[in-house]
């Protein structure tokens, strides 16, 4: 026999009331959860679901130059291929993204002091395997574009390339997602690595791409270009600006690679398809030096040769031929030794006649070890180490006193004092960001990240001690971080 318990009217009312309260709580939690998805903290982020993005699927008409009196927007893009490396831990992703975006803002038309006439839009090209951390970069003010790998290894006809490309630094064929930058909607794209900062406007580069070579604007822009080879004949229609990796070459052994951390280019989806067709053909010869690599061009054997470093160098040298090589001391500046004085790939004891000569083969070249900072347009933080690593120690091997690889500034390949100057300017950008955010919000929590004394003249109070563990991340209350976008809104 089943016993049924009777419920009086008062009990029914209580139960209905409880159900109503439960429904209200569920709705409230849903709203709060949605809001929290857009609130960032420096040490913990919730990933968002990816956008169903059509940007890269369809042709978008190029923007007219400064249409309707509004500044033209330049697309600034970074790529994320995988989670879990230096680019995607709390400091490497969050603080680097904030400082990169702040540096771009400062050289744009939104900052009247810059004198620039170009606006900007931030993009992050995210490989599907890094989608789980894409919510982090979205919160930094980037429009996230999640993409598939542009080609499958099985499409490559050449046996050697097909069997070995996945081992190439840094990410094998996955690195080719960077080519999606050519398909973004803006007329001009700038693609950089996340360990990057801009310090001067690049209007003359943009003008040289946009304006006809015979127009007054085009002539003026071209006259202002600072080239790796001064006086070099320019293409009638400039497709891209880049720098090459001269610090890595060996005398007479192989051509310089493309330095894959920096590209300024005209929007042109056909570049992506042409470059991928080179990969699909797979005409790549194993070895190191001239006669090897892509079509035997010599672009082979060095770091990144099978991926972007070698592919783009070969593509612009032999296929498209419309790229202009910029002065490596002024753009994409790394502060590396561009003279034959020490390693890499040079032994001064064996090649004494080459000591002190330019790695780019010219009779004279600027010494990037001592370039005045006010002449530098952008800095790529590579061998000077990442600013958020809090590294001041130096050694010839690049190992610190504990024997850890990559935890010291390698000298004499690098100039210690020049590295300190470059790192100081990155931290100065971060301090400027913190100062402006504090002025906007009055949040004293912001000050907590800059109170430390370790080499304060270089690190601006952002380092507690030497090494990665000593870095103090940007801090602020959640409601403050949610207002970061207000710093960058276009002033009416």
Question: Residue 361 maps to which CATH number?
Answer: 3.90.550
Q: Are strands 409-410 and 394-395 parallel, antiparallel or unpaired?
A: parallel
Q: Is 62 a residue whose pLDDT tops 70? A: no
Residue 159 lies in a domain: yes
Name residue 143's beta-bridge partners.
123
Residue 233 lies in a domain: yes
Contact 188, 75 (CB under 8 A): yes
Residue 14 is predicted with a pLDDT of 43
Distances (CA, A) of 300 to 7, 170, 285, 325: 83, 15, 7, 20
Among 436, 438, 460, 459, residue whose Cα is nearest residue 447: 438
**Cα–Cα distance between 297 and 398 in angstroms, integer?**
32
Q: Classify 189 as helix, strand or coil.
A: strand
> What is the domain range of residue 283?
70-382
Q: Is 25 a residue whose pLDDT tops 60? A: no
Q: Which residues lie closer than 8 Å to 490 by C-beta, 6 or more apart? A: 110, 119
DSSP state of 133: G
Mean pLDDT in residue range 328-339 = 98
DSSP state of 246: G
Instruction: Give the count of domains, the chain.
Output: 1
Sign of the dihedral defined by the CA atoms of residues 421, 423, 428, 431, in that order: negative
Q: Dihedral, CA atoms, 375, 379, 383, 384, nearest 10 degrees?
A: 70
Residue 448 lies in a domain: no
Residue 78 lies in a domain: yes
Q: Is 61 a residue whose pLDDT tops 80? A: no
Q: Classify 130 as helix, strand or coil.
A: helix
Contact 240, 274 (CB under 8 A): no
Mean pLDDT in residue range 172-185 = 96
Q: Is 51 a residue whose pLDDT tops 80? A: no
Q: Are strands 240-242 and 323-325 parallel, antiparallel or unpaired?
A: parallel
Residue 85 lies in a domain: yes
Residue 275 lies in a domain: yes
Other CB atoms within a 10 A radius of the CB of residue 272 amount to: 18
Mean pLDDT in residue range 76-87 = 78
Residue 10 is predicted with a pLDDT of 47
Residue 377 is predicted with a pLDDT of 98
Contact 140, 102 (CB under 8 A): no
Tokens 């910029």 map to which residue?
Answer: 326
Residue 464 lies in a domain: no
**Cα–Cα distance between 75 and 54 in angstroms, integer?**
16
pLDDT in tens, 185-240: 999 999 999 999 999 999 999 999 999 999 999 999 999 999 999 999 999 999 99
Residue 67 is predicted with a pLDDT of 55
pLDDT in tens, 384-421: 999 999 999 999 999 999 999 999 999 999 999 999 99
* Predicted structure pTM score: 0.86
Q: Is 66 a residue whose pLDDT tops 70? A: no
Residue 411 is predicted with a pLDDT of 96
Least-confidence region, from 181-190, 263-272, 475-484? 475-484
**Cα–Cα distance between 190 and 182 in angstroms, integer?**
9
Q: Is 24 a residue whose pLDDT tops 90? A: no
In degrees and rounded to multiples of 5, residue 68 shows phi and psi of 55, 30
Residue 143 lies in a domain: yes
């Amino acid at each position: 026999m089943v016993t049924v318990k009777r419920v009086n009217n008062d009990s029914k009312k209580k139960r209905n009331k409880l159900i109503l309260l439960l429904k209200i709580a569920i709705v409230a939690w849903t709203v709060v959860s949605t809001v929290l998805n857009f609130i960032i903290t420096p040490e913990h982020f919730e990933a968002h679901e990816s956008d169903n993005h059509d940007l890269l699927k369809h042709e978008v008409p190029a923007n007219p130059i400064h249409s309707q009196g509004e500044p033209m927007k330049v697309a600034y893009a970074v790529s994320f291929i995988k989670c879990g490396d230096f680019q995607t831990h709390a400091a490497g992703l969050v603080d680097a993204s904030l400082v990169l975006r702040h540096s771009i803002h400062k050289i744009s038309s939104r900052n009247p002091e810059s004198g620039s006439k170009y606006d900007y839009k931030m993009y992050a090209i995210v490989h599907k395997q890094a989608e789980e951390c894409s919510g982090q970069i979205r919160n930094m003010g980037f429009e996230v574009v999640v993409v598939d790998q542009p080609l499958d290894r099985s499409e490559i006809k050449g046996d050697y390339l097909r069997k070995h490309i996945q081992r190439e630094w840094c990410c094998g064929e996955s690195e080719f997602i960077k080519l999606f930058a050519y398909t973004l909607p803006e007329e001009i794209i700038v693609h950089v690595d996340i360990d990057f900062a801009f310090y001067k406007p690049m209007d003359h580069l943009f003008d040289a791409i946009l304006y006809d070579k015979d127009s007054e604007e085009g002539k003026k822009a071209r006259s202002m270009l600072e080239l790796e080879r001064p006086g070099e004949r320019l293409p009638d229609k400039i497709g891209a600006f880049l720098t090459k990796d001269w610090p890595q070459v060996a005398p007479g052994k192989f051509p310089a690679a493309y330095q894959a951390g920096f590209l300024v280019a005209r929007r042109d989806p056909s570049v992506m398809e042409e470059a991928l067709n080179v990969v699909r053909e797979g005409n790549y010869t194993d070895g190191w030096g001239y006669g090897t690599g892509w079509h035997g061009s010599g672009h082979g054997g060095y770091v990144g040769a099978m991926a972007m470093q070698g592919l783009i160098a070969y593509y612009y040298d032999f296929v498209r031929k419309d790229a202009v090589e910029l002065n490596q001391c002024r753009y994409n500046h790394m502060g590396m030794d561009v003279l034959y004085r020490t390693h890499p790939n040079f032994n001064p004891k064996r090649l004494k006649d080459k000591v002190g000569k330019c790695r780019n083969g010219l009779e004279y070249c600027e010494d990037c070890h001592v370039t005045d900072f006010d002449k530098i347009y952008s800095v790529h933080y590579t061998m000077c180490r990442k600013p958020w690593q809090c590294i001041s120690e130096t050694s010839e091997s690049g190992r610190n006193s504990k024997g850890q690889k990559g935890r010291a500034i390698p000298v004499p390949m690098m100039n210690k004092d020049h590295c300190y100057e470059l790192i100081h300017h990155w931290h100065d950008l971060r301090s400027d960001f913190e100062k402006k955010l504090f002025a906007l919000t009055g949040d004293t929590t912001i000050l907590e990240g800059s109170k430390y004394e370790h080499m304060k003249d270089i690190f601006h109070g952002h380092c507690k001690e030497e090494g990665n563990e000593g870095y103090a991340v940007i801090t602020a209350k959640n409601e403050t971080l949610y207002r970061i976008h207000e710093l960058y809104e276009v002033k009416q």
